[in-house]
Structure 1
Amino acid sequence: MTALERLFSEGFRVFFLAAGLYAVIAMGVWEAWLAVQAAGGSLDLPAAPAPHLWHAHEMIFGYGGAALAGFFLTAVPNWTGAKGAPHRYIAAVWSIWLAGRLAVWMSGHVPLISVAAADLAFAPFLGAQILGQLIRKPKPQQMIFLALLAAFWIANLMVHLEWLGHTDTAWAGLRMGLVTLCCMIMVLGGRVTPGFTRNAMVQSGRETHLPQNPMPLAAVSIAAAMALPMTYLVSLPDHIIGAVAVVAGVAGLIRVALWKGVWTLGKPILWTLHLSYAINALGLLLLGLANLGLGTEIAALHVLGIGAVGGMTLAVMSRASLGHTGRPLVASRRVALAYALVPLAALTRFLGSALPGLHDPTVLIAGALWIAAFALYLVDLWHVWWGPRVPRAPIGSPP
């Protein structure tokens, strides 16, 4: 098997590579545009939407879509015992994802209906494969992800409908897409974070004071998080959106406090899960408060986009890449540094919104930290995605 054939042999390989590359490239373009604007210049992009809308759309649906595809194409066969997708399908769905990115980028020179068709084809093509596998052994806790993928697609549709001139739903669609990703973190992170931590504690010989994950509390956090995208879909008043987000955030913070995060401090591949989940919950709380008139919504949205989505996807992508290629689940120094840079980027961007006088430098610094984090991730795991599986059992279980 050639290296190229191997890259398309498993979904996590090409999509986690693509997510990392796009995280660097898309943020690099945004940084360049911001830097030119800050210097008093002007930089025209070939995209039809305003640069800030292109940036938001591509980080949510471009980067987020690639991370989701890599996760689903890897995790669903494990859940169901089904055979993984063939390499031709993986190459096809990756090509559709890439076509969407190119179409949105060149949307100033391409009919917008063609842009929408190219970009919106990705989630249904991916969802059909997932449905075909999940339907064999349907379980409610797994079918939730298919419903969330549908919500993710609807959110993207709302953006394109405004770009086509039919509705005024782009901002609601962007928010719905982001909080849908955050809902997936609430569901998935709430499952794997205490589970992986418990496994590691037991393997170390610890038998007491293990992570607790009370089901009533989990149900409240997940129900509120799943309701949040729907509040944007049906355009509920700000105070209702705020109340739902506050419930999800508070419940999430209580949950993560029960998972023995302090024990993981010497284990980056574990503490990054705890930290990313906590930032997700905190971001939802901040979003809720902002909708209730306390704080800045843009600041909260960037805590979620950078710290929660960026942090948790980086954690899961690196862990899964190691585990599914037979490598020990131990983060290298480079990847551990990347784990630390992402929440630092989130904090810096938060300050940029909270302190308007520092907006330009903090936004540029936050973008640079994000790029550095994903560059470290790419450098460290590049050989993993292109290389063969090693005959060595990983410590613990990959997602």
Structure 2
Amino acid sequence: MTTDILSVRSARAAAAPPVLRGAYRLLFPAGALWAVVVAALWIGALAGEIVLPTAMAPLAWHQHEMLFGYLGAIIVGFLSAAIPNWTGRPAFAGIPVAAAIAWWLSARLALLFSSVVPPLAAALLDVGFFVAAAALAAREILAAGNRNLPMPLIILLFAAANGLHHAETMGASLPAGLAVRAGFSIVLLLICMIGGRIIPAFTRNWLVKAGREATAPAMPNGFDKTVVAGAALALAAWTFAPDARATGPLLIVAGLLHAARLARWSGLRTRTDPLLFILHLAYAWLPVGLVLLGLALSGAALPSTMALHALAAGAMGTITLAVMTRASLGHTGRPLVADGWTVAVYVLVTLGALLRVLSPVLPLDYLLLLKIGGAAWGGAFLLFVLAYAPKLAAPRVDGRI
């Protein structure tokens, strides 16, 4: 029976339009485009130029859609690309992929227009998308006896944080900011865990291929487990007890541990390969953001927005573009080589993140810097869509399905 189901799925993939051969083919460009839309609408609302048609406060909507809207799409897209590799089972294709994209988009529009759409209906659509994605991922992983079962469990935690944020915006009595901090922490732990797997592995493979095996990073060991555990403890403290005296120091220590971890990965040796070097640069934002957040909570004269933008615009924004570009090339059968457009994407997202982080302390007009930084950051995602959507909509260049 299982063989018959997999055969049907393979046949469906062969018959489907290329753009529907895996949810990542639409979720990557859709999520990237939504990041541009959300950033533009938020800056317009902040400047008093537009009024958003959502029942949420503008800041709450902005936080929700950057975290659970754009990032949620990229996370589920990444899973849809990775799970067939993990399990050896054919990817979902055709109608299931179209339904998933329609579900995600319906949730985005329902939330944007939640002054008209009942907020509870919007919440059920939004949370349900992640619950369904986690259930399908768990089914595939369990069927293959694969070791990546923690991934769908993390998606369920992300869905729970999403539900908490909806409850908070609908008036539930919850600690202020708990849901956003929880969602942030889950994404940061994903970066810590997945980045800790793929970055040293890709770097080692690249250095070995270049005949520089002696400089290749060691595979993950006990130190990496300590770093992950330290990050989990510090982020849990920030999520549930942001005002506790120990939270700031825990975040600083976690940031320093991540900096030491990154230093072990030979990142500077990869600077001639933008597709690989950007992964190291993206991860570098994680210790920067954790240390800045720890300092802000410990009483340093630093606005906490600097830390949050380092973690969001910096770590999350850069790692999603790094992963999307690499996965899009690999899964469409193209060489893992960054062209000029891809390098421009990396330059823009880095410039945008820097301006978003530094705008509160630079001696220039804050709103102007916010607009320039937002334009650069959003421009990176728009350029990704323009450069990569045609590749994702086309058949694989190597002739495979």
Q: Conserved in 2, the CA contact under 8 Å of 1:24 and 1:375?
A: yes
Aligned to 1:330: 337
Query: Aligned pair 1:14/2:21, yes or no?
Result: no
Question: What one-letter code is carried by the residue in structure 2 that aligns with 1:359?
Answer: Y
Aligned to 1:238: 244
CA distance in 2, matches of 1:194, 1:129: 29
Aligned to 1:113: 120
CA distance in 2, matches of 1:24, 1:32: 12
Map of 1:199-210 to 2, 5 A cutoff? 199-210=205-216
Deviation at 1:33, TM superposition (A): 2.5
Aligned to 2:382: 375
Aligned to 1:384: 391
Map of 1:266-277 to 2, 5 A cutoff? 266-277=272-283
Aligned to 1:363: 370
Q: Conserved in 2, the CA contact under 8 Å of 1:348 and 1:362?
A: yes
Deviation string for 1:254-310 (max 9, x for gaps)?
111111111111110011000001112221222222222223221101111111000
1:353 match: secondary structure: coil
CA distance in 2, matches of 1:221, 1:68: 22
Task: Pick the aligned partner of 1:187 from 182, 190, 193.
Answer: 193
Question: What one-letter code is carried by the residue in structure 2 that aligns with 1:94?
Answer: I
Deviation at 1:45, TM superposition (A): 1.1
Q: Conserved in 2, the CA contact under 8 Å of 1:198 and 1:211?
A: yes
Aligned to 2:163: 157
1:389 match: secondary structure: coil
Question: What one-letter code is carried by the residue in structure 2 that aligns with 1:344?
Answer: L
Aligned to 2:290: 284
Q: Conserved in 1, the CA contact under 8 Å of 2:185 and 2:239?
A: no
CA distance in 2, matches of 1:240, 1:5: 54
Deviation string for 1:204-246 (max 9, x for gaps)?
2222121134512211221233345543554464334334422
Bigger shift: 278-287 or 117-126?
A: 278-287
Q: How many residues align?
A: 387
Deviation at 1:389, TM superposition (A): 0.2
Aligned to 1:55: 62
Bigger shift: 63-72 or 93-102?
A: 93-102
Query: Aligned pair 1:248/2:254, yes or no?
Result: yes
Aligned to 1:343: 350
Bigger shift: 360-369 or 281-290?
A: 281-290
Question: What one-letter code is carried by the residue in structure 2 that aligns with 1:28?
Answer: A
Bigger shift: 233-242 or 362-371?
A: 233-242
Q: CA RMSD in A?
A: 2.2
Query: Aligned pair 1:259/2:271, yes or no?
Result: no
- Aligned sequence identity (%): 36
Q: Conserved in 1, the CA contact under 8 Å of 2:207 and 2:215?
A: no
Task: Pick the aligned partner of 2:142 from 135, 143, 147.
Answer: 135
TM-score (norm 1): 0.91
List alignment gaps of at least 5 residues for structure 1. 394-399
Aligned to 1:396: none
CA distance in 1, matches of 2:173, 2:363: 31
Question: What one-letter code is carried by the residue in structure 1 that aligns with 2:272?
Answer: G
TM-score (norm 2): 0.90
Task: Pick the aligned partner of 1:216 from 204, 222, 235.
Answer: 222
Q: Conserved in 1, the CA contact under 8 Å of 2:41 and 2:52?
A: no
Aligned to 2:320: 313
Deviation at 1:156, TM superposition (A): 1.0
List alignment gaps of at least 5 residues for structure 2. 1-12
Deviation string for 1:341-362 (max 9, x for gaps)?
2122111111123348632111
Q: Conserved in 2, the CA contact under 8 Å of 1:342 and 1:369?
A: yes
